[in-house]
């Protein structure tokens, strides 16, 4: 909310390095449609892998880990029965929130949507989701020796609903006005949302899943094909340092948003670079069995089902897929787990 008033002062002078990066991001956005038309199979494969990485990485950033990779894969595809721990419950919750935003029309962006996303995050954990926090708190860092350092002070609980509503209204108005680059506006929205800290738990996950959705709404679908959450996890120290630096003075509207925006723009630049590397260098060629082999070894999740290969490679029969998998199994590159329609495959390299 603080970052949106007045915007001409906040975003009036964009650093030159970011201007160049924003230009590369816009070029990357323009190429998304090209790849969608020319390489639909590859994009389907990239999207499947990014979904797994996003759920896994965003959860891990909060200390939520399912150590058994095979079981984690089943939770992600919804085939597991009975979640055994709170970590598994919250892992499944991020899957539900991410899939909700990608599976249907979610407009408009409003308080109800944010509460619903939070409710989905804790949909497998009874009684925890969909409510703004009711008490004041501090966001702290805990050192190995047990000492605590206050990272920042969120908005008082009594003001959370009003402040969050004002942020939503200001963001929507700024997007409608079209005076500033949408990536910068999304970055400011995420910064303010995290600083308001509207929930007792799950703020980071709500912000990350919303980042994907807001970028997609603005025409930047990169989060579908490259996991932004994975890139954040790979640069976690820089991520948290940038947030911390940009929250100083936020309550007095004296904060500097550029450390965070610099990180955010660099994150998207890196995502489009990774996308180009993955898409441009791996155009599907060769026979149908070669295409199945290439998908399984280079693009499929570590654990997958034949149905996922079929969806990624339209026009290729199940018989061809099974023949290729049998050949890969005999070469020691995949292993089958289970039989019949519920069978899954495990890539071994």
- For the chain, which domains are there? 2-280 (1.10.3290.10), 288-347 (1.10.10.10)
Backbone Cα Rg of the chain: 21
Q: Is residue 349 scored above 80 in pLDDT? A: no
Q: Do 91 and 72 form a contact (C-beta atoms < 8 A)?
A: yes
- 52-80 pLDDT, tens digit each: 999 999 999 999 999 998 899 999 988 88
Looking at the chain, the whole-number percentage of residues with pLDDT higher than 90 is 59
Q: For 113-118, what is the mean pLDDT?
A: 94
Q: Which two tokens stand for residue 222?
A: 């990169």
Q: Is residue 339 scored above 80 in pLDDT? A: no
Confidence (pLDDT) at 284: 54
Place of tokens 């290439």: 294
Confidence (pLDDT) at 188: 97
Q: Is residue 281 scored above 60 in pLDDT? A: no
Q: Is residue 283 scored above 60 in pLDDT? A: no
Q: Which residue has the higher pLDDT, 40 or 222?
A: 222
Gap between the Cα atoms of 288 and 313, Å rounded: 9
Q: Which residue has the higher pLDDT, 343 or 129?
A: 129
Q: Do 345 and 325 form a contact (C-beta atoms < 8 A)?
A: yes
Q: Which residues of 235-265 are buried (b: 16+ CB within 10 A; e: fewer)?
A: eeeebbebbebbbeebeeeebebbbbbbbbb
- 168-225 pLDDT, tens digit each: 999 999 999 999 999 999 999 999 999 999 999 999 999 999 999 999 999 999 999 9
Mean pLDDT of the chain: 88
Residue whose C-alpha is closest to residue 257's, from 170, 344, 172, 193: 193
Cβ-Cβ contacts under 8 Å for 88 (sequence gap 6 or more):
66, 71, 75, 80, 124
Q: What pLDDT band is residue 143 in, cutting at 50, 70 and 90?
A: low
Confidence (pLDDT) at 132: 96
Distances (CA, A) of 169 to 75, 109, 166, 303, 304: 36, 9, 5, 42, 42
Confidence (pLDDT) at 303: 85
Looking at the chain, the whole-number percentage of residues with pLDDT higher than 70 is 93
Q: Which residues of 47-64 are buried (b: 16+ CB within 10 A; e: fewer)?
A: bbbbbbbbbbbbbbbbeb
Q: Do 253 and 246 form a contact (C-beta atoms < 8 A)?
A: no
Confidence (pLDDT) at 295: 81
Gap between the Cα atoms of 337 and 190, Å rounded: 41
Q: Which residue has the higher pLDDT, 31 or 154?
A: 154
Q: Which residue has the higher pLDDT, 159 or 46?
A: 159
Burial of 302 (0-12, 13-18, 19+ CB in 10 A): middle
Confidence (pLDDT) at 217: 92
Place of tokens 């061809």: 320
How many helices (DSSP H) and strands (DSSP E) are in the chain? 16, 5
Q: What pLDDT band is residue 301 in, cutting at 50, 70 and 90?
A: confident
Residue whose C-alpha is closest to residue 50's, from 175, 230, 203, 215: 230
Q: Is 254 strand, coil or helix? A: coil
Distances (CA, A) of 107 to 101, 160, 182: 10, 22, 17
Cβ-Cβ contacts under 8 Å for 298 (sequence gap 6 or more):
282
Q: For 331-342, what is the mean pLDDT?
A: 82
- 211-260 pLDDT, tens digit each: 999 999 999 999 999 999 999 999 999 999 999 999 999 988 899 999 99
Is the pTM of the predicted complex or chain greater than 0.75?
Answer: yes
Distances (CA, A) of 205 to 10, 64, 97, 150, 256: 26, 11, 9, 20, 23
Q: Please, how many CA atoms are within 13 Å of residue 116, restricted to the half-sphere of its CB?
A: 13
Q: Which two tokens stand for residue 2?
A: 């603080």
Q: Is 180 strand, coil or helix? A: coil
Q: Is 242 strand, coil or helix? A: helix
Q: Is residue 113 scored above 80 in pLDDT? A: yes
Measured from the Cβ of residue 294, the count of other Cβ atoms closer than 10 Å reads 21
Place of tokens 């609903």: 161
Confidence (pLDDT) at 308: 80
Minimum mean pLDDT range among 104-118, 275-289, 299-313: 275-289
């Amino acid at each position: 909310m603080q970052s949106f008033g007045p915007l001409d002062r906040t975003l009036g002078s964009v650093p030159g390095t970011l201007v160049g990066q924003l230009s590369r991001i816009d070029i990357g956005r323009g190429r998304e449609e090209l790849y969608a038309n020319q390489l639909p199979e590859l994009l389907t494969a990239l999207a499947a892998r990014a979904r797994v990485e996003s759920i896994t990485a965003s959860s891990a950033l909060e200390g939520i880990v399912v150590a058994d990779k095979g079981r984690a894969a089943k939770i992600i595809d919804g085939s597991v029965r009975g979640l055994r721990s709170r970590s598994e419950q919250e892992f499944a919750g991020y899957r539900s929130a991410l899939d909700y935003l990608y599976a249907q029309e979610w407009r408009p962006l409003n308080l109800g949507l944010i509460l619903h996303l939070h409710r989905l995050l804790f949909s497998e954990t009874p009684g925890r989701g969909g409510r703004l926090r009711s008490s004041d708190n501090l966001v702290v860092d805990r050192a190995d020796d047990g000492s605590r350092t206050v990272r920042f002070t969120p908005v008082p609980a009594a003001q959370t609903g009003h402040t969050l509503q004002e942020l939503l209204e200001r963001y929507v108005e700024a997007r409608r006005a079209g005076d500033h680059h949408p990536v910068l506006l999304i970055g400011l929205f995420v910064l303010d949302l995290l600083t308001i800290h509207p929930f007792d738990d799950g703020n980071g996950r709500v912000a990350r899943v919303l980042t994907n959705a807001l970028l997609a709404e603005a025409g930047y679908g990169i989060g579908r094909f490259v996991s932004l959450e994975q890139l954040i996890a790979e640069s976690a120290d820089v991520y948290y340092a940038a947030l911390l630096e940009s929250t100083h003075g936020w309550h007095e509207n004296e904060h500097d948003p550029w450390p965070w925006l610099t990180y955010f723009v660099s994150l998207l630049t890196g995502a489009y670079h990774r996308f180009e590397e993955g898409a441009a260098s791996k155009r599907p060629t060769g026979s149908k069995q070669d295409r199945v082999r290439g998908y399984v070894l280079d693009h499929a999740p570590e654990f997958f089902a034949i149905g996922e290969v079929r969806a990624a490679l339209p026009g290729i029969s199940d018989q061809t897929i099974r023949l290729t998998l049998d050949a890969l199994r005999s070469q020691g590159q995949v292993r089958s787990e289970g039989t019949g329609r519920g069978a899954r495959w495990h890539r071994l390299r």
